[in-house]
Structures are given as structure tokens and as C-alpha cells.
Amino acid sequence: MAKQKKIAKHIKESVRFTALELLVSISEKQAYSNILVNDAIKRHHLSDKDARLMTEIVYGTVGHKLTLEYYLKPFIKNPKKLDNWVKQLLLLSLYQMFYLDKIPEHAIINEAVNIAKAKSNPGIGRFVNGVLRSIQREGEPSTELIQDPVKRLSVEVSLPLWLTQRLVDDLGIDEARKLGESLLVPSHVSVRVDTRHISREEARDELIEQGLEVSLSDVSPYGLVIEKGFLGNTRLFKEGLITIQDESSMLVAPAMQLEASHKVLDACAAPGGKTTHIASFLDESQGGKVIALDIHEHKIKLVEDNAKRLHVDGVVECELLDARKVGDVFADESFDRILVDAPCSGLGLLRRKPDIKYTKTPEDFNNLQRIQLEILESVVPKLNQWGIMTYSTCTVTKEENQEVIEEFLKRHSNFELIDVVGAGTLEKSYQDKQLQLYPHHYHTDGFFISCLRRKS
């Protein structure tokens, strides 16, 4: 086995070297960027400033990968002979050169050359220097050279061609471009306020007093948007009066039209954000309860921990169960409300998890639609007459959303679509009694909600 080269500490612990290691792991092992970034920040004890820069470089390079590869391609004579780590080093350097304006280009190039020499040899250092200097001198190739408009859009917004084509088919090219461009804008953090104990305005004011930049959500009456600041040290977070949740996800529980005495089935519950929100509408003394199912044991523990932290464990009951097997456990017509927050492609989360856009395939959608319909078919006998079943996903494709509901209604004429309560003010996203939030509409995750009432 070849002896691994010892790398100087000041390089090995640098922000860009750490970013390079993560990018290599993401590209070779399909590791999740959000998990790697959080682990690296803790492992290297990065300062806030370094953590922000490292996160920006990793997310930015992954998010713009196809664009950066297009820029790099004319400057590499033998791309097949290029080691992956050298390619990742060039891409992260290009990201800094073209998308960050506070770092001088000579500093970016010097650091890339130093990393290349430290990891390999002076010859690789000269190669990296030559490529980056050439691009600096000649500039990035224009995407106008790409004749096909969909292919050009794919490169410009860094979405795989098949996915770009699908979005263009669904939305038209102008909306698909807006959506794609919005995914390249960093997401913000939002929190749900437990308004049983504190109003949104009071929570906002207290967080501002503690130095955070906070505003009221325009999407959810339970939400606050955090533009800047660390939540973990605040009293409200420690005492479980706020919890991190995307604004779009906060729309689910109100849409279910819950009453304090309701018995609710949350068929795919983990990690428990929606379960705990549902629970906040229920009253144990009136018989209110939410049964939270998940197929993974460790995720059940996560839901239980969340329920305890948010003081709703009295009405949350967790069970390890595949939602497609509820017929083995629960009697028919057991529940007043059912939530199917279905397993999905997660394309609505691309702003937070940019790496997943390169790993999905068109075949995934057909498999997922089958599973989504199987879950709906499994739980539907468990709903009381006049009960409401809510279907939601964190994705944006019609196959997983509108087409699933359309197919379900074909099979069940005793169900009708009803309004999604709370969606009326979101005019850009609400059509035909179904809420399809696209990330460029209100800068939320992509999300879908539909509510179905059983008539007989």
C-alpha cells in the first residue's frame, strides 16, 4: 500500500482543504452534503466565519456543478485522466472566482496550487495553476454557444437535462428558469412558534433582543423567518417554545381542520415536525391523540424525542409500522383525520440538499408514485365518514402530486377535494383546491398539500 503523503497542518486544517475533502466524499460516495458539512464544522471546531465560508464553498460548488463543469471543460485536454480530487479542487476554485466577490482571484489560485502540491507534487500544482490562470485570462465560455434552449437552461441553472425537460414540460421554460435560479439562492431558517404559550410577535421581539434578525412569516401564521443568528442558545428554543420547520411544512396541520378531541393517524411521521404541530391542536383530556407511524426504529425515537421536547408527548403515540400495513393493526373507521406525508423524491428540498438533484433518475418517479398510492389505499378504510385525509409531499413533480390525487379520486368516488385551509392567501401556488408551492414563489421549500373528505 502506498504511503499516504503527510500534509502540513496549516493546509490540512484550512477551510478550502476541508471543503475539498467534503466535495470528494459527495462526488464519490454520494454522501449527503448537509450531514457532512455539519460534521466537519464540529470536528474541525471551525469559527463562525470559517464555518460560513466552508459551507458556502461546498453548497455553492455542488449547487452550480453543471455550470462549473461547462466552464472547465474547454481547458482540460484529457478529462478522463483527471483525478477526481483535482477536478473538485478546480471546481471549488472556479466557484469562488465566479460567484464570491470578497476573495481576490490571486489568493484563490495560490491556495489551490498549495493544496495541489501538498496533496500530490509540484507538477500537479503547475497544472492547477495553468488551468486557473488560463480561465482567469480568457474568461468563462458563454452558455449562448449552446443552441438547444433546454440544454442551455440545464447548464445555466445546473439541473440535469432530464429534470430540466420535465420542469419545462410542467411549467414552461420561463417558470422553469425562475424555479431553477431560485434553487441557487441560499435557503433561510424558519421556526414554528407554539402559539399556545407565546404569540409570534412576542417570540419575534424576544429573539431580536437576543441579537437575531427575525421577521414574521408571510406564509404561515405560526412561522418566523430567521435571517441571521444562532437559535440553539435562545430560551425559546431550549424551552421548546419554537422549533425549526420550513414555512411550507407549517401549513399542513391547519389544513387538516383539527379539533381538540380528534383521533389522528400520521402515517409517515418522522422526524415529527408535522406530528408535533398536529398534537398542539389536540387535548388529551378530551380524548385527542395522534398515532405517529414510521418504518424505521431510530426515526420513531426521533419523533418521541421531539414530542417530549415540545411538550406534546401526552397526545403523541408512536408505533413502528409500515404505513402500507395499517390494516393489520387498526380497525376500519378509527380516525377522524389522516395525514399521509408521503415518501417522495424530495425535489422541493434542492436548495437545502443540492447534491440530490444529481442522483435522482426518471425511474424514481414511477416507483414513488406506486408507493404513494399504496399508502393511500392502505390507510383509506381507517378514516371515519366525513373525515379528512391530507396528502402532502416535499416535491414539485406532477407524477408525485396532482397525478396521485387524480388517480386516487378515480378509484374512490366517495371522496371529494376540499379547500386547503390557509392556502387562500398564497395565490401564486393555489389552484383547483390544491397547493403546489414552488421554491421561487415564496422562497420556501417546494411542497404540495391536498385535502380529501370522505363523503360516505
Q: Which residues are catalytic?
A: 394
CA distances from 264 to 271, 308, 333, 340, 393 (A): 17, 18, 11, 11, 18
Q: In degrees, to the nearest 5, what angle opens at C-alpha 333 toward C-alphas 330 and 334?
A: 50
Q: From CA 384, how far away is CA 83, in angstroms rounded?
A: 60
3-state secondary structure (DSSP) of residue 274:
helix
Q: Which residues pair with 189 in a beta bridge?
A: 226
**What are the residues whose beta carbons fall under 8 Å from the beta carbon of 269, sequence distance 6 or more?**
275, 292, 293, 294, 299, 303, 318, 341
Long-range CB contacts for residues 116-122, cutoff 8 Å, separation at least 24: 116/86, 116/89, 118/5, 118/7, 118/8, 118/11, 118/12, 119/5, 119/7, 119/85, 120/5, 120/86
Asked if 277 and 253 touch (Cβ cutoff 8 Å), the reply is yes
Q: Which residues pair with 263 in a beta bridge?
A: 289
DSSP 50-99: HHHHHHHHHHHHHHTHHHHHHHHGGG-S-GGGS-HHHHHHHHHHHHHHHH
